[in-house]
Amino acid sequence: MKKNKELFLIEPSNKADASTLARIFSSSVFNELAKKGSSSLLNSIIKELNIEQSSFSKLSDLFDSAYKYLQVVYRNEYLYKNTITNKLLLGKHSLNTSKMLTEFRVSSSKADVLILNGTSHIYEVKTELDSLERLEQQVENYSKFAEHVHVVTSKGHLDKILNNMPTNIGVIELTTKNTLKTIRKSESNMERLSSSVIFESLRQSEYCKIIKKHFGSLPEVSNALMFKECRNLFDKLPHNECNKLVVDTLKQRNATDYQRAFVESVPESLKAMAVSTHFSKTQINNLSYSLSKGII
């Protein structure tokens, strides 16, 4: 892709510098901004790359400029997740009816993106910077948890993924124009779902809520036996009912009005960060204020 140099206020000189720039979108930076109002890691990156701070009237403009540059020369995992957030979660659905969770544990894997709407969708990201070494095991695990599993990848990985992944796995290309192009639609995994895999991905409060909702009450046993008894009952749930109850329950995880307002307030370059944060109201206010002021 040809670069338009006038587009970028930030333009690292080489790929190593682009990798350094990508670190400004790390959770460490946003955790520091939320808790302290400033980030030593962000400041060190700005200093290392000789970024002219006066070019940006507010911190969010720095993130926007960095994001535009990375879209062209260094499409890392954050960029993929952010595109999924903007194009799928916010573009096709609504924060009022859908939920997105990131780094969601399923068996021995962590799903990059889990979107819950009418059902469950896992999106596993494989960027042009990634290998495909673990992908087979990952999609096998995810097919036991979510009704639909998709791999989101670059053009360079497409042939290998299409030839080696089961046909029930959807394949989506992040194009050079940074749009999502469906190459192969996913098929329902409903009959492949595993109650034990699903159960182990839930918090105690979540599986107890599901058991109580479906069976009317929790087992009358000691706390020491509650896990075992709930798991036995969970195994009796029909796949369709299990998926529906899990989707409805996980939609409530970390769901707050102030987080939804935060997601709506940030620019497109920061949507994935905003969706993935689990900060208190005070921390979100700190982060919002930090993004709106000049770089310190």
**pLDDT number for residue 93:** 83
**pLDDT number for residue 54:** 81
Give the sheet arrangement for strand 109-116, strand by strand. 99-106, 109-116, 120-126, 148-153, 170-174, 180-184
**pLDDT number for residue 256:** 83
Give the DSSP letter string of 32-43. HHHHHSS-HHHH
Task: Please check whether residue 295 is in contact with residue 53, taking contact to mean a CB–CB distance below 8 angstroms.
Answer: yes
Domain ranges for the chain? 5-74+276-292, 79-190
Taking only the tens place, the pLDDT of each residue in 134-185 is 999 999 999 999 999 999 999 999 999 999 999 999 999 999 999 999 999 9
For 4, other C-beta atoms within 10 Å of its C-beta total 9
pTM: 0.92
**pLDDT number for residue 14:** 64
Task: Please check whether residue 125 is in contact with residue 217, taking contact to mean a CB–CB distance below 8 angstroms.
Answer: no
Q: Produce one character per residue of 73-96: b if its CB has 16 or more CB atoms within 10 Å, e if not.
A: ebbbbbbbbbbbbbebbbeebebe
**CA separation for the pair 149, 128 (Å, rounded):** 20
**pLDDT number for residue 7:** 42
Greatest Cα-to-Cα distance within the chain, rounded to the nearest angstrom: 68
**pLDDT number for residue 203:** 96
**pLDDT number for residue 16:** 77
Q: Considering the domain 79-190 in this protein, what is its CATH number? A: 3.40.1350
- Low-confidence stretches of the chain (pLDDT beneath 70): 1-14, 296
**pLDDT number for residue 216:** 96
**pLDDT number for residue 104:** 97
**pLDDT number for residue 4:** 43
**pLDDT number for residue 92:** 87
| Tokens of residue 244, six digits | 């529906």
**CA distance readout (Å), 7 to 68, 69, 186:** 8, 8, 37
Taking only the tens place, the pLDDT of each residue in 199-211 is 999 999 999 999 9
